[in-house]
């Protein structure tokens, strides 16, 4: 076991505090020197890319930190395809692309790494540009059995077709991805409408948002108070006019402010200054992400449930938030993937947080998370497996609700590609 001087410098506090067994930086080294370091039952290798989840380091397990040796970014100007290492974080990708007037549909934070892309990747711009996985052009990496793989869209042989599809949404279970080729997008200005609202106003705005065109999306957070971001991208004056018309109704909400940005990279969602929730480095947390379709007539009952959930939150850091997808994400986009719930138009997530050494509070908070999940299942029956929970009792159910009728294919693939289960278990 490591002492406190050897903890992993990552943003997720659970992983930061983990007493990992060993830190390695090279995939090849792991496979070449593997003298059964992962011998014990239930042990597996932890992979760290952005380091934003509770899975990138765990007590007594080895972490492969991709940030040191897999951090290159290169844009090919002729094709506008950017190649990134498996340890690149979205903020660095965006800063690099901004210099070339290009962009990528990253999520609501610049902190996540390749895990964002490989688990689907839902952006405020996804309604126009699809999920992050829909923009993957190529990958390089290693299967759990140590075999090197290099795959390119449109050049996939039949025997690699299932691997290619599973990389898009389920890669962490059977592969270590060291390089990803991504289609980039032209950078356009963004209009944001943001501010604090009450739950009646949220109800009205959700109803309105379910009629938004592809270039507008709503994201909200219900923490101490409710805060919303309406994100609208416009390519020209005509689209700017369209946005104005679509958002005319919002004029009556006096707390909402309108802002303009040169591109997506300039925006910082959930800024610290807003004090939306208690940011406490002494807390540990878990997050569960759900998926479902438009609420339509269920908006009032959903808001009632949401108020009940928030009234019962056991710690000031706990919150529920949601982001909107749909339009382009409903299409298959260059072939099948393991993001199976393509009909989804909302991804809410429940953030559960407790004082890190308070096991009693942890139990209460996790109970709140599971009860809140149960309440929201009626509206959002599926799971977006953006966070791996193989250390939690809900893992099996989450797998089933994330991969639906493709779960058996994934298990078969894991048996072949990762027979010793060196990567997170299914
Ligand atoms: C502040 C914040 C905002 C977020 N916003 C969004 C959002 O808007 N949309 C959205 O879809 N998600 C969002 N997420 C969720 C986030 O994208 C996922 O949790 C993602 O898995 C984090 O990836 P990471 O590389 O940062 O995490 P890590 O903790 O480094 O990795 C998580 C796991 O992913 C797997 N993994 C990572 N990299 C690789 C690799 N190269 N090869 C194989 N497996 C790998 C490993 O199993 C690893 O343990 C957000 C998360 C945070 C913390």
Q: Which CATH number fits domain 190-262+270-387: 3.40.50.2300, 3.40.462.20, 3.40.50.11810, 3.90.230.10?
A: 3.40.462.20
Q: What is the pLDDT of residue 334?
A: 65
If you take atom 17 of ligand 1, which residue's CA is the nearest one?
Answer: 116
**Which whole number is the average pLDDT over 396-414?**
97
Interval between CA 118 and ligand 1 midpoint (Å): 8
If you take atom 3 of ligand 1, which residue's CA is the nearest one?
Answer: 109
**Which whole number is the average pLDDT over 148-177?**
97
Q: What is the pLDDT of residue 333?
A: 66
Crossing angle of helices 299-311 and 359-377, rounded to 10°: 170
Q: What is the pLDDT of residue 1?
A: 41
- 270 CB burial (10 A radius; 0-12, 13-18, 19+): middle
User: Is the CB of 105 within 6 Å of ligand 1?
Assistant: no
Pairing of strands 319-324, 346-355: antiparallel
**Which whole number is the average pLDDT over 281-308?**
97
Q: What is the pLDDT of residue 40?
A: 55
CA separation for the pair 331, 133 (Å, rounded): 12
User: Is the CB of 387 within 6 Å of ligand 1?
Assistant: yes
Ligand 1 atom, smallest distance to 66 CA: 41
CA separation for the pair 414, 144 (Å, rounded): 8
- 72 CB burial (10 A radius; 0-12, 13-18, 19+): exposed
What residues does 83 pair with on adjacent strands?
Answer: 74, 181
CA separation for the pair 238, 289 (Å, rounded): 36
Q: What is the pLDDT of residue 35?
A: 56
Interval between CA 53 and ligand 1 midpoint (Å): 6
Q: Which CATH number fits domain 73-186: 3.30.1340.30, 3.30.465.10, 3.40.1390.10, 3.90.1720.10?
A: 3.30.465.10
CA separation for the pair 74, 238 (Å, rounded): 34
How many Cβ atoms from other residues are within 10 Å of residue 117's Cβ? Answer: 30
Give the residue from 80, 102, 49, 69 showing the smallest Cα distance to 181: 80
Give pLDDT tens digits for 338-366: 999 999 999 999 999 999 999 999 999 99
- Better-scored residue on pLDDT, 331 or 156: 156
E strand or H helix at 239, and its extent?
A: helix 237-246
Interval between CA 290 and ligand 1 midpoint (Å): 15
Tell me the three state secondary structure of residue 218. Answer: strand
If you take atom 8 of ligand 1, which residue's CA is the nearest one?
Answer: 107
Domains 73-186 and 190-262+270-387 fall in the same CATH topology = no
Ligand 1 atom, smallest distance to 121 CA: 11
DSSP tag of 415:
H
Give pLDDT tens digits for 16-26: 999 999 999 99
Residue 43 — pLDDT band, cuts 50, 70, 90? confident
Interval between CA 320 and ligand 1 midpoint (Å): 18
Locate the domains of the chain by residue range: 4-65, 73-186, 190-262+270-387
Residue 280 — pLDDT band, cuts 50, 70, 90? confident
User: Is the CB of 116 within 6 Å of ligand 1?
Assistant: yes
Q: Could you please report the per-residue DSSP string of 110-174? A: S---HHHHHT----TTHHHH--GGGGEEEEEEEETTS-EEEEETT---GGGHHHHHHHHHHGGGT
Q: Is the pLDDT of residue 2 over 50?
A: no
CA separation for the pair 216, 410 (Å, rounded): 34
Interval between CA 116 and ligand 1 midpoint (Å): 4
Q: At a CB cut-off of 8 Å and minimum separation 6, what does 221 contact?
A: 227, 228, 270, 276, 277, 319, 320, 321
User: Is the CB of 169 within 6 Å of ligand 1?
Assistant: no
Ligand 1 atom, smallest distance to 50 CA: 26
What does R_g of the chain's alpha carbons equal in angstroms? Answer: 21
User: Is the CB of 320 within 6 Å of ligand 1?
Assistant: no
Q: What is the pLDDT of residue 275?
A: 85
**Which whole number is the average pLDDT over 167-181?**
98
Q: What is the pLDDT of residue 37?
A: 62
Q: What is the pLDDT of residue 47?
A: 97
**Which whole number is the average pLDDT over 171-184?**
98
CA separation for the pair 107, 90 (Å, rounded): 8
Supply 359's token pair: 């096991």
Check the CA dihedral 137-142-143-144 and report its sign: negative
* pTM score of the predicted model: 0.96
Interval between CA 67 and ligand 1 midpoint (Å): 13
Give the residue from 409, 425, 268, 424 showing the smallest Cα distance to 340: 409
Interval between CA 68 and ligand 1 midpoint (Å): 17
Give pLDDT tens digits for 63-108: 999 999 999 999 999 999 999 999 999 999 999 999 999 999 999 9
Ligand 1 atom, smallest distance to 86 CA: 41
**Which whole number is the average pLDDT over 106-114?**
97
Q: Could you please report the per-residue DSSP string of 260-273? A: EESSGGG--TT-GG
User: Is the CB of 124 within 6 Å of ligand 1?
Assistant: no
Averaged pLDDT of the chain: 94
Q: Is the pLDDT of residue 41 over 70?
A: no
User: Is the CB of 182 within 6 Å of ligand 1?
Assistant: no
Q: Residues 81, 54: contact at Cβ < 8 Å?
A: no
Give the residue from 183, 164, 212, 222 showing the smallest Cα distance to 75: 183
């Amino acid at each position: 076991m490591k002492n406190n001087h050897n903890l992993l410098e990552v943003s997720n506090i659970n992983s930061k505090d983990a007493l990992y067994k060993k830190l390695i930086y090279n995939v090849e080294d792991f496979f070449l020197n593997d003298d059964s370091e992962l011998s014990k039952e239930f042990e597996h290798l932890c992979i760290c890319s952005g380091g934003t989840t509770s899975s990138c380091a765990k007590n007594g397990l080895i972490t492969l930190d991709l940030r040191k040796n897999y951090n290159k970014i290169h844009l090919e100007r002729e094709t506008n395809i950017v190649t990134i290492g498996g340890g690149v974080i979205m903020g660095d990708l965006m800063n690099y692309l901004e210099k070339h007037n290009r962009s990528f549909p990253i999520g609501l934070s610049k902190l996540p790494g390749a895990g964002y892309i490989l688990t689907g990747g839902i952006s405020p711009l996804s309604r126009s540009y699809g999920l992050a996985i829909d923009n993957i052009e190529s990958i390089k990496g290693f299967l759990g059995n140590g075999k090197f793989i290099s795959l390119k869209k449109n050049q996939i042989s039949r025997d690699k077709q299932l691997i290619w599809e599973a990389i898009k949404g389920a890669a962490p279970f059977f592969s270590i991805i060291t390089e990803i080729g991504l289609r980039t997008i032209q950078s356009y200005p963004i209009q944001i409408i943001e501010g604090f609202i009450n739950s009646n106003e949220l109800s009205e705005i959700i109803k309105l948002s379910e009629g938004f065109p592809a270039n507008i999306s709503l994201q909200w957070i219900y923490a101490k108070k409710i805060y919303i971001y309406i994100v609208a991208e416009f390519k020209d004056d005509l689209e700017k006019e369209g946005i104005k018309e679509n958002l005319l109704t919002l004029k009556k909400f006096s707390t909402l402010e309108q802002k303009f940005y040169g591109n997506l990279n300039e925006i910082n969602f959930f800024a610290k200054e807003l004090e939306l929730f208690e940011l406490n480095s002494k807390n540990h947390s878990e997050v569960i992400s759900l998926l479902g379709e438009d609420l339509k007539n269920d908006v009032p009952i959903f808001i009632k449930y949401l108020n009940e959930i928030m009234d019962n939150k056991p710690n000031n850091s706990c919150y529920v938030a949601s982001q909107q997808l749909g339009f382009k994400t409903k299409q298959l986009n260059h072939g099948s993937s393991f993001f199976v719930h393509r009909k989804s138009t909302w991804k809410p997530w429940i953030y559960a947080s407790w004082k890190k050494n308070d096991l009693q509070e942890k139990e209460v908070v996790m109970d709140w998370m599971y009860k809140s999940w149960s309440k929201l299942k009626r509206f959002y029956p599926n799971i977006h497996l953006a966070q791996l929970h193989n250390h939690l009792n809900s893992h099996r159910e989450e797998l089933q609700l994330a991969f639906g009728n493709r779960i058996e294919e994934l298990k078969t693939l894991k048996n072949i590609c990762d027979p010793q289960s060196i990567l997170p278990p299914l």
